[in-house]
Structure 1
Amino acid sequence: MATATSRRSDRRISPVFLGIAAVTAVAGWAVWTGFSSAPGFAVFLFVTGAWIVSLCLHEYAHARTALHGGDISVGAKGYLTLNPLKYTHAMLSIVLPVIFVIMGGIGLPGGAVFIEHGRIRGRWKHSLIAAAGPLTNVLFAVVCTAPFWLHALDGVPAGFRYALAFLALLQVTAAILNFLPVPGLDGYGVIEPWLSHGIRRQIEPFAPFGLLAVFAFLWLPSVNSVFFDAIHSILRGLGVTEWDTYWGQRLYRFWQGTPDIPSLTG
């Protein structure tokens, strides 16, 4: 009985996550209704809150898949509660990704939960665990862009539309960056089980620097241009224009002053 109670506690949704989700919902309502006298600040809260929610779901997907793969330790570590404070690298998983969104509008992937891979048998399981996180970002992007590719934007306030577009951009960038086969990122985690032991040993020392290397390359104007051209191409395929994402980011950066945005209320 105690064990069953403990397991239920390990999987109970954290009040911290519920609080973040509540703030996101209220901010989204404020953006939709135009209730806030500072629409940019409401968009900032809505997009940031939704971004943190997606980061929590990203890490949860890793943990939940690992649980079904054989790592029963993820429950005791608090990974199944969606509490961002329980992650192995809270700074990398939550704080830095939010900072990079504020600085450059990039959905930077964060640090992963700690999986005890020795408990998991089968290379496909290891690959699926690594892929589960970025696949969550893909699903989030599909949901955010659904009103666009379903042509269901009639009656959607422009401010909310722009906020959704910017949030979709963050999800697409996070998915693509995470799927890069770079040590330290989930894309490498997908292919790692299929590499020889010798190759893995040679690559292992570079894992802590993979994310930093990717971010450094993104600061190069030529690389940044090619990367975002690819992002906007994907978004256009989902019905989201650069106009939408541009004004979404302008609104998000409320500290720069709320610009005169065409059709902001309608």
Structure 2
Amino acid sequence: MPFVIISLLVAFTVHEFAHAYTAYKFGDDTAKDQGRLTLNPVHHLDPIGTIFILIAGFGWARPVPVNRRNFRNPKLAGVLVSLAGPLSNFLIAFIATGLLFFTIGSAPVFFVQLLNMMVWLNVLLFVFNLLPFPPLDGYRIIEDLAPPHIRVKMTQYEQYGVLIFLILVFTPLDRFTIQPIFSVAIPAVIGGFQSIFSLFL
């Protein structure tokens, strides 16, 4: 459990900071003005999501506020801001895999266990957040890329998308929808990391 909590705190904090920093760089000060342009976990944790982390081993962070009207290039900025979060988790997992490869055999057991958890959870968050359901980043990317008339319709039906997403994740249907995606995508990403670092050994 401690490894899960530490890994989630790091993953959530870097994920939300990446959103805030990218938005700031494209001209939106909203997150910065609300104190979210920081790597201090306290500023990114959601109270209920944090309780769930402590008692159930999973949870969620507080979404970073973004005002797309402040972007200098709204479509490009919107996509990159949404993509920044999942990519930050991808990068954490990649670095943790590298540390595992280059310290294997010499690192303490607890450190190896922590790194393994960091890899798995961050790849999970990378894949999960790219799913095309609201309110996930994958949905926001599609929304920003869609033509205006499609975007309007997406906004109208977004509430139903959230409901469908919750049904797919929190009911037995996940065995036929979400879990098969994870069972293929997560091992594929981790395997790709391992193949890259194995070239150096």
TM range (shorter): 0.7 to 0.9
Tell me the secondary structure at the aligned position of residue 183 of structure 2: helix
* Equivalent in the alignment of 1:45: 2
Quote the offset at 1:158 in angstroms.
3.3
| Residues 141-171 of structure 1: CA deviation (Å, up to 9, x unaligned) | 01111134x4541212334323321221110
Match of 2:12 in 1: 55
Could you state the TM-score of these two structures normalised by the residue count of structure 1?
Answer: 0.61
Indicate which of 76, 86, 90 corresponds to 2:46. Answer: 90
* Separation (CA, whole Å) in 2 of partners of 1:239 and 1:84: 29
Q: Does 1:233 align with 2:185?
A: no
Q: Residue 124 of structure 1 corresponds to which residue in structure 2?
A: 76
Task: Look up the match of 1:141.
Answer: 93
Structure exhibiting the larger radius of gyration computed from Cα positions: 1
Residue segments in structure 1 that go unaligned for 5+ positions in a row:
1-43, 241-266
**Offset at 1:84?**
4.2
Give the Cα separation in 2 of the matches to 1:151 and 1:199. Answer: 48
Moved more, 131-140 or 187-196: 187-196
Larger displacement relative to structure 2 (122-131 or 185-194)? 185-194
CA distance in 2 between partners of 1:218 and 1:136 (Å): 30
Q: Is the 8 A contact 2:97 2:119 kept in 1?
A: yes
Contact 2:3 2:117 in 1 (8 A): no
**What displacement does 1:228 show?**
2.2
Q: Deviations over 1:10-41 (max 9, x none)?
A: xxxxxxxxxxxxxxxxxxxxxxxxxxxxxxxx
Q: 1:181 Cα shift?
A: 2.2
Unaligned runs of 5+ in 2: 196-201
**1:207-243 Cα shifts (integer Å, max 9, x gaps):** 5446524523686334424522431233233339xxx
Amino acid at match of 2:140: G
Distance 1:77 1:69 in 2: 17
**Map of 1:115 onto structure 2:** 66
Q: What is the CA-CA distance between 1:117 and the residue it aligns to?
A: 1.1
CA-based RMSD: 3.0
Within the alignment, does 1:221 sit opposite 2:175 as a pair? yes
Report if aligned partners of 1:181, 1:187 keep a CA contact under 8 Å in 2. yes
1:1-266 to 2 correspondence within 5 Å? Answer: 44-87=1-44, 90-91=46-47, 94-95=49-50, 98=53, 102=57, 110-122=61-73, 123-148=75-100, 150-204=101-155, 205-206=158-159, 208-209=162-163, 212-216=166-170, 220-223=174-177, 224-239=179-194
Counterparts of 1:160 and 1:111, CA distance in 2: 28
Shift of 1:74: 2.1
% identity of equivalent residues: 27
Q: Residue 200 of structure 1 aligns to a residue in which SS? A: helix
Aligned to 1:4: none
Opposite residue 203 of structure 1, the aligned amino acid is M
Residue 190 (structure 1) shift: 1.8
Report the Cα offset of residue 189 of structure 1: 1.6
SS in 1 for 2:133: coil
The answer on whether the counterparts of 1:63 and 1:113 sit within 8 Å (CA) in structure 2 is yes
Equivalenced residue count is 190
* Cα separation, partners in 2 of 1:193 and 1:112, compared to 1, 3 Å: same
